[in-house]
Amino acid sequence: MPPTQDRDTLMGSPLAIQAATLLGGIVGIALPAYLQLEPGKAMALAVFCLLLAWIAVDGIPAMRRTWLFRNRRNEVSAAFWRRIGTKLVGLAALLGAVVIVCSVFPFFTQSSAVQWFIEASHATIPISIVLAIATILYVAVTDLIAEQPDDYLNQVGRAVLMQDFREEDVLFALRLLAIKCFFLVLMFSGGMASLADLVDKPAWAFPPLSAAWFEGLLRLVFLVDTVLAAGGYIATFKLFGWHVRATETTALGWLVCLICYEPFFPAISHAFVPYGDGPGWETVIPEGSAIFFLWSIATLFCTGVYLWATVAFGPRFSNLTHRGIITSGPYRFIKHPAYVSKNFAWWLFALPSFIASGLAEGLARAGMLAIVSLIYFLRARAEERMLSKDPAYRDYAANVANKGLLAMAKRRLASRPAA
């Protein structure tokens, strides 16, 4: 039988899902670049290719399993369609809230994603009609196979219709809406900017192994990561098992997450932790030297592990949510590979500049970067507190503690004979 909601490990082949994720992301970036599409269309096509890969490899098999093991409910068709109508009312209310938010707050109105969507809206009427029909079909099919069809969407609809509703489900829907709206706009806008940079400054346009070449590879890695993240925020489809099970509810959890992103981090970084201000690392490590190659490869390796962590999530990537416990990829060895590798990459990239700044200024800037690393430590602990409500995560954490990288290192040290 499929796993129950309180013990939500993931089914399917992790390697197949990771391969589909990486292939879908690469094809989604290469195809619009080949077609020379403008950034908005390029990002939309990239995400579309990614979603197709996920649906083909993970979504359809998961839907078939769920359909075979579904609980057949004995209810009259009138009750079923009444609930579907209520859910559609709830969905329309949530979409209306998105439109209002994106029309009021400058973060959204000034974003390239929202501006592109508004400009392209006149050409998307046929697509909107198709999506409306597909949405009705999706809501109906998802309701048929759900163990508990009375979900948060139904409760939002009941609230809009001024019927009795569960407050916790409506609050869950609002938190989920805030997460998807904020991060999807952020990632889509970031992807548009990165795709434009890819056209203007591709890594392959620079001499191999040069500083510009390495920096171009770093930009390419973060472009793939951004496309995967944007796809993850769209792909919250319950029909395929990609839905959100829970969201972060504590103020600290939201704070330490949101502070790492625009528009919050640039403002705070400039005012309090400007660790990036200073001489470049080429003042300490000459370009073309052996140390330059080793340092660059180490930075790329850490960045590659960070991307691998995103690939391991597949369609379930998201911040501030629980969408199933990931135990494959680098998560087999460490609980927070993305945060650890990202911070190692930052330290490797910044350390030569710290040295070139002199002792006093270098220590001050290193202290600023240490504050950033502390924020990520607090972010990791907040995620652990949220996910620990799931027994599957507690089992996973215990397994990493016994068999992960730190456990293997401790056993190896303990097995060394005394000098």
- C-alpha distance across the termini of the chain, in Å: 54
Q: What's 202's DSSP letter?
A: -
Predicted local distance difference test score (pLDDT) of residue 39: 94
The tokens for 182 are 């904020």
Lowest mean pLDDT among 3-17, 107-121, 304-318, 384-398: 3-17
Q: Is 60 exceeded by the pLDDT of residue 419? A: no
pLDDT in tens, 273-299: 677 777 776 678 888 889 999 999 999
User: From CA 8, how far away is CA 208, in angstroms rounded?
Assistant: 45
The residue type found at 231 is G
Task: Tell whether the torsion through CA atoms of 6, 12, 17 and 19 is positive or negative.
Answer: positive
Can you spell out the DSSP letters for 137-200?
Answer: HHHHHHHHH-S----HHHHHHHHHTT----HHHHHHHHHHHHHHHHHHHHHHHHHHHHHHHHHH
Q: Is 80 exceeded by the pLDDT of residue 122? A: no
Strand 246-247 and strand 321-322: the pairing is antiparallel
The tokens for 50 are 């990614």
Count Cβ atoms within 10 A of the Cβ of residue 197 and give its class: 0-12 exposed, 13-18 middle, 19 or more buried.
middle
Longest dimension (CA), the chain: 80
- Percentage of the residues of the chain whose pLDDT score is greater than 90: 69
Backbone angles phi, psi at 247, to 5 degrees: -125, 160
**What is the mean pLDDT of the segment spanning 135-154?**
93
CB count within 10 Å of CB 322 equals 19
**What is the mean pLDDT of the segment spanning 348-368?**
86
User: From CA 378, how far away is CA 371, in angstroms rounded?
Assistant: 11
- Angle at CA 115, nearest 5°, toward 111 and 120? 150
Residues 6+ apart with CB under 8 A from 377: 339
Q: Tell which residue, 89, 84, 118, 86, has the closest CA to residue 102.
A: 118
Q: Tell which residue, 197, 336, 169, has the closest CA to residue 256.
A: 336
pLDDT in tens, 163-184: 999 999 999 999 999 999 999 9
- More confident call, 135 vs 416: 135
The residue type found at 200 is D
Predicted local distance difference test score (pLDDT) of residue 6: 39
pLDDT band at 4 (very low <50, low <70, confident <90, very high): very low
Q: Is 90 exceeded by the pLDDT of residue 335? A: yes
pLDDT band at 71 (very low <50, low <70, confident <90, very high): confident
Predicted local distance difference test score (pLDDT) of residue 127: 80
- More confident call, 239 vs 13: 239
Q: Is 80 exceeded by the pLDDT of residue 97? A: yes
Lowest mean pLDDT among 215-224, 312-321, 354-363: 354-363
Predicted local distance difference test score (pLDDT) of residue 328: 92
Predicted local distance difference test score (pLDDT) of residue 3: 39
Q: List beta partners, residue 325.
A: 9
Q: Is 50 exceeded by the pLDDT of residue 1? A: no
The tokens for 38 are 């403008």
User: From CA 62, how far away is CA 255, in angstroms rounded?
Assistant: 34
pLDDT in tens, 223-250: 999 999 999 999 999 999 999 999 999 9
Predicted local distance difference test score (pLDDT) of residue 412: 81
Cβ atoms of 195 and 230 closer than 8 Å:
no
Q: Is 50 exceeded by the pLDDT of residue 133? A: yes
- Percentage of the residues of the chain whose pLDDT score is greater than 70: 95
pLDDT band at 8 (very low <50, low <70, confident <90, very high): low
Predicted local distance difference test score (pLDDT) of residue 5: 39
Q: Is 90 exceeded by the pLDDT of residue 340? A: yes
User: From CA 33, how far away is CA 198, in angstroms rounded?
Assistant: 8
Cβ atoms of 303 and 330 closer than 8 Å:
no
Predicted local distance difference test score (pLDDT) of residue 12: 57
Backbone angles phi, psi at 69, to 5 degrees: -100, 10
Residue 266 has, within 13 A of its CA and on its CB side, a CA count of 2
